[in-house]
Structure 1
Amino acid sequence: MATNVVELRTPQGREKLNELLEQVTITCPEDIHDAAVNLARIAKERGMQVAVCDDISSKEPMVDAEGTILNADIFQWLEDGARWWEDHRLALHSPLPRACRYESEPFWVNKDGFNTRWRNSYLEEIDLTDFEKRSLCKAAIVIPVHLPFGQISANSFISMDREKEDLSEEFAMYGSLFSQVTRRFVAGYVQAHRTKRRIPSDCVLSKREVECLRWAAIGKTDKEISMILERSHATIRYHIHRAGEKLDSVNRAQTIFKAGQLGYLGANS
């Protein structure tokens, strides 16, 4: 599918933008409800309805401190065929969250293709057949939010005019604004709900540990790595084992996974 390159306009008025960002800021679970109401209002005032998903790998709906489901009671996705937040298969089958795995900047999309800030060959290969049926809309402005530890948030702004297929004007006018308020909202929501510590804090891997893990991440054995780095087999095992201790991992695979989550392995691993 073709990917068209578009340019976003800068939101007008720094003071106004800061005010809107403050309205969607979440510092504790009790802030979630009002921030969600404000996010819904910001979208509605610009002719759009917002849909927010904090984690495309999770089956849990987004809720406020009282357990209210945001996408139902606040963002108003309630009609038959519109309750996308109940269908966990969408993260696998809809092109919207799928595209968020390959793009971190805002874009808009319809059946004819993706429209992004720059050409993205990964998006060009995403199948948009039966786009409306699979995406539950004719067009959408999509805001990916890539969070720490590999968490991906996929968020959409859909025109209140459900028949509208061209969102180029809305994207140019509001894409940057939607991106900033959505990122602020989602980051705060995730932080307010994050109670489990999955990776030790302030974990620093050595240059040699990272080097060994990068080769291990692409399938090299300890023996092969020892030959590549011209170090003994025992030295390679030590560095990988030491990295696992720092990352509190139970095995080699989890060591590589956690190092990748922290950005030690780069995009080529």
Structure 2
Amino acid sequence: MRSMLQGRFQAVLGAESQPEFRAEIERFTHSLDFQTFSAMTVVDHALGKPEFIVLDNCPTGFAEAMHNPQLGLQDPVMQHCKRYSVPIVWDQQTYVGGGNPDLWDAQASFGYRTGICLALHLPEGRHFLLGVDRDQPLPEDPAYVTRMVADLQLFAVHALDTALRVQLPPEQQLERPHLTPRELEVLRWTMDGKTAWEVGAILGITERTAVLHLSNAGQKLGCNNKHQTVLKALRLGLIR
């Protein structure tokens, strides 16, 4: 658990503003050996058009095209992300196969030649898209590329709730479950790798009571095990 939450994955959870959030995404992007990124939070409204909130480091000359909603109607990567949560690894052939090679030619001149993109679709019309791009081909080693995709997925899961927290006004944010102080204490020590017996000894409660608090927290957060419970509590900002 601790190794999973260290470094680049955990740091994004602590971002308290859009500039901090942007800096953490850019730092992660460079750590994967990509140059540019785009992070988009989308809110579907019952009445009216969807709301798009974008953070990126794209070249100034490409920004207007990058932020044009009509681009999504032509871009095979965006069309994939609208329909699926499975990441897509894209290059020139993706656009050729999608019938839009001219779009790839246009963006390639700005350094967008290949990349990885994914979308996370939430209840109540919330969506989070994250893509990283580079001007060089991806490594030929399939295992290395698979690891890059997995890293991006894990980072996106951590970044998701930070995006909703720092980019949406309070009235648009989803309600967070209420955990008792004791449940939060148990989660914090569990995050540090303590067993239920050790948590009980630290807090002066029985092992069974520690397990009960952890189980109650998991039920409130809709999780099936302690690892999912800790991760979701971190994502929601309930623990640090």
**What TM-score does the superposition give when structure 1 sets the normalisation length?**
0.50
The residue that corresponds to 1:181 in the other structure is: 155
> Does residue 50 of structure 1 match 2:37?
yes
Instruction: Report what 2:207 is aligned to.
Output: none
After superposition, residues 231-242 of structure 1 pair within 5 angstroms as none
**Higher mean C-alpha displacement, 167-176 vs 87-96:** 167-176
Distance 1:200 1:56, change over 3 A: closer
1:32 is matched by which residue type in structure 2? Q
**Aligned-pair CA distance for 1:33:** 2.3
Aligned-pair CA distance for 1:142: 0.7
Q: Which has the higher contact order (CA 8 A, sep 6+)?
A: 1
| 1:194 to 1:146, Cα distance in 2 relative to 1, 3 A | farther
1:33 equivalent in structure 2: 19
Q: Aligned pair in 2 of structure 1 residues 128, 173: CA closer, same or farther (>3 Å)?
A: farther
Which consecutive unaligned segments of at least 5 residues does structure 2 have? 45-49, 178-240
- Structure 1 contact 111–128 (Cα < 8 Å) conserved: no
The alignment partner of 2:13 has SS state of coil
Which structure has greater helix proportion? 2
Contact (CA 8 Å) 1:77, 1:83: kept in 2 or not? no
CA contact (8 A) 2:9 2:154 kept: yes
1:84 to 1:186, Cα distance in 2 relative to 1, 3 A: farther
* CA–CA separation in structure 2 for the residues paired with 1:107 and 1:79: 25
CA apart distance, 1:101: 1.7
Question: Hey, what's the Cα distance between the residues in 1 that align with 2:67 and 2:94?
Answer: 26
Post-superposition Cα deviations, 1:35-54, rounded to whole Å, max 9, x if no partner, equal: 32122112112211221111
Counterparts of 1:51-70 in structure 2, within 5 Å, are 51-55=38-42, 58=50, 60-62=52-54, 70=55
Does the 8 Å contact 2:89/2:115 carry over to 1?
Answer: yes
Deviation at 1:105, TM superposition (A): 1.9
Structure of higher CA gyration radius: 1
CA-CA distance at 1:175 after TM superposition: 0.9
Contact 1:104 1:145 in 2 (8 A): yes
Deviation at 1:77, TM superposition (A): 1.3
Summarize the alignment of residues 82-93 of structure 1 with structure 2, pairs less than 5 Å apart: 82-93=63-74
In the alignment, does 2:102 pair up with 1:130?
A: yes
Q: Secondary structure at the match of 2:159?
A: helix
Q: Is contact 1:109-1:141 (8 Å) kept?
A: yes
2:12 matched to 1:24? yes
Q: 109, 134, 146: which is aligned to 2:90?
A: 109
The root-mean-square deviation of aligned C-alpha atoms, in Å, is: 3.6
Alignment pair present for 1:141 and 2:116: yes
Give the match for residue 4 of structure 1: none
Q: What CA deviation, in whole Å up to 9, does each residue of 1:12-33 have, x standing for no partner?
A: x951643322211157xx3432
Q: CA separation of 1:91/1:195 partners in 2, compared to 1, >3 Å: closer, same or farther?
A: farther
Task: Give deviations 1:179-232, integer Å, cap 9, x for gaps.
Answer: 111232133211341433599999xxxxxxxxxxxxxxxxxxxxxxxxxxxxxx
C-alpha spacing 1:188/1:41, structure 2 compared with 1 (3 Å): same
With the length of structure 2 as denominator, give the TM-score of the two structures.
Answer: 0.55
Sort the Cα spacing of 1:83 and 1:187 in 2 relative to 1 into closer, same or farther, 3 A: farther
* CA-to-aligned-CA distance 1:39-93 (integer Å, 9 cap, x gap): 211211221122111128645443xxxxxxx32xxxx213313554432222222
**What CA distance in whole angstroms lies between the structure 1 residues aligned with 2:176 and 2:2?**
35
Contact 1:145 1:153 in 2 (8 A): yes
Give unpaired runs (5+ residues) of structure 1. 1-12, 63-69, 115-124, 203-269
